[in-house]
């Protein structure tokens, strides 16, 4: 029983004020809260469950548990279905806490008797709802194994505070995930899925700094699709988009995982090759050119073949990246002047 609700809530506030990494699993960033709840309410287990859908939930998924470690495999979460436990689900969806003094006889939790309560020795349950925008989002479940327990109003209030603390952490995690998605979109070319020019400039600065410290070579290949305007004029921009997507897919198959392929704009692309000198970069560009020249891009009955002009240069680590970019661009211009479908070193 809680004799001083103010004291334990103050302790909980201090726990919740600690900085945590919300980019990981629910277990990792809810662990301290549910551990505090378990200790304060003197129960055997505290777990957090989230609905699969807020409007018409079919399942509850167990995402955090005081019995787990912070690195628990999230693919092994337990799942409760509405179909199997309809009374329990309906009670939760009212938003009110379930203070089941005797879990076996309380109509809201009795559905668990044979399958869970008796096999695990659980005799009492206190389940409080996690809200999101005023709608039940999940629950925090407190379980005891010491016989029926008369839950006091102060204990129910404290458990509801635990649920609110979990709700805030989950909201912060969702906001962080949304921010990451927006950041990814800001640096991504929507058509090809490649990184864009904005990402390229930031990435290049980081790589130049890293390669300077390690005294390693860094090279780039600029690739320009030959006669791309003629493809658009002949077949239309829809086909031009298909060509660009096929081009990006082919390049990714040739390049290494550590290489960074970006779309500069239009039909111009840049591949940054870490730990690569100009000679090896030239061979990479040749492999790209040959692979792309053999690519057959189909659109209905049409079979479209492309060629590319490539400019290769080793990045000068002592100068701004824009200087090396200009050098590669000049090499592409020279490749086109010499007849296209070739690689020129800048």
Q: Positive or negative, the Cα torsion across 23, 26, 31, 34?
A: positive
User: Is 267 assigned a catalytic role?
Assistant: yes
- Give the list of residues 6+ apart from residue 318 with CB closer than 8 angstroms, or none: 212
Distances (CA, A) of 90 to 52, 57, 108, 116, 128: 15, 10, 9, 19, 14
Burial, 25: exposed, middle or buried (Cβ in 10 Å; 0-12, 13-18, 19+)?
Answer: middle
CA-nearest of 315, 316, 311 to 338 is 311
Contact 11, 36 (CB under 8 A): yes
Q: Which residue in the block uniquely carries the two structure tokens 């096999």?
A: 119
Distance (Å, rounded) from C-alpha 313 to C-alpha 208?
A: 14
3-state secondary structure of 61: strand
* Phi, psi for 121 (deg, rounded to 5): 70, 25
236-241, long-range: CB < 8 A, 24+ apart: 239/299, 239/302, 239/304, 241/191
DSSP assignment of 217-271: -EEEEEEEETTHHHHHHHH-HHHHHHHHHHHHHHHHHHS-TT-EEEEEETTEEEE
Contact 178, 77 (CB under 8 A): no
Q: Which residue in the block uniquely carries the two structure tokens 């390229």?
A: 200
- Identified catalytic residue from 36, 207, 267, 295: 267
Looking at the annotation, which residues are catalytic? 267
């Amino acid at each position: 029983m809680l004799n001083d609700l103010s004291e334990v809530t103050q302790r909980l506030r201090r726990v919740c004020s600690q900085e945590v990494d919300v980019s990981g699993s629910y277990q990792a960033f809810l662990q301290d809260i549910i551990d505090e709840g378990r200790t304060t309410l003197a129960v055997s287990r505290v777990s957090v469950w989230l609905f699969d859908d807020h409007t018409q939930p079919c399942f509850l998924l167990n995402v955090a548990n005081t019995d787990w470690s912070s690195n628990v495999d999230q693919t092994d979460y337990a799942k409760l279905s509405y179909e199997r436990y309809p009374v329990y689900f309906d009670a939760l969806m009212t938003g009110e806490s379930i203070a089941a003094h005797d879990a076996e006889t309380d109509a809201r939790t009795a559905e668990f008797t044979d399958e869970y309560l008796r096999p695990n020795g659980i005799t009492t349950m206190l389940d409080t709802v996690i809200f999101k925008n005023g709608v039940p989002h999940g629950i925090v479940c407190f379980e005891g194994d010491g016989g029926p327990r008369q839950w006091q109003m102060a204990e129910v209030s404290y458990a509801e505070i635990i649920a609110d603390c979990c709700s805030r952490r989950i909201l912060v995690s969702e906001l962080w995930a949304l921010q990451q998605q927006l950041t990814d979109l800001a640096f991504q070319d929507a058509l090809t899925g490649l990184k864009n020019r904005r990402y390229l400039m930031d990435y290049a600065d980081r790589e130049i700094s890293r390669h300077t410290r390690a005294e390693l070579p860094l090279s780039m290949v600029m690739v320009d699709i030959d006669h791309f305007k003629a493809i658009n004029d002949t077949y239309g921009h829809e086909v031009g988009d298909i060509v660009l997507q096929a081009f990006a897919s082919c390049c990714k198959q040739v390049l290494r995982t550590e290489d960074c392929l970006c779309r500069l704009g239009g039909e111009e692309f840049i591949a940054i090759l870490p730990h690569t000198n100009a000679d090896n970069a030239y061979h990479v560009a040749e492999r790209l050119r040959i692979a792309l020249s053999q690519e057959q891009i189909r659109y209905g009955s049409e079979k479209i073949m492309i060629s590319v002009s490539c400019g290769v240069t080793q990045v000068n680590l002592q100068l701004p990246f824009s200087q090396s970019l200009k050098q590669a661009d000049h090499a592409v211009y020279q490749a086109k002047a010499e007849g296209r479908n070739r690689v020129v070193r800048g």
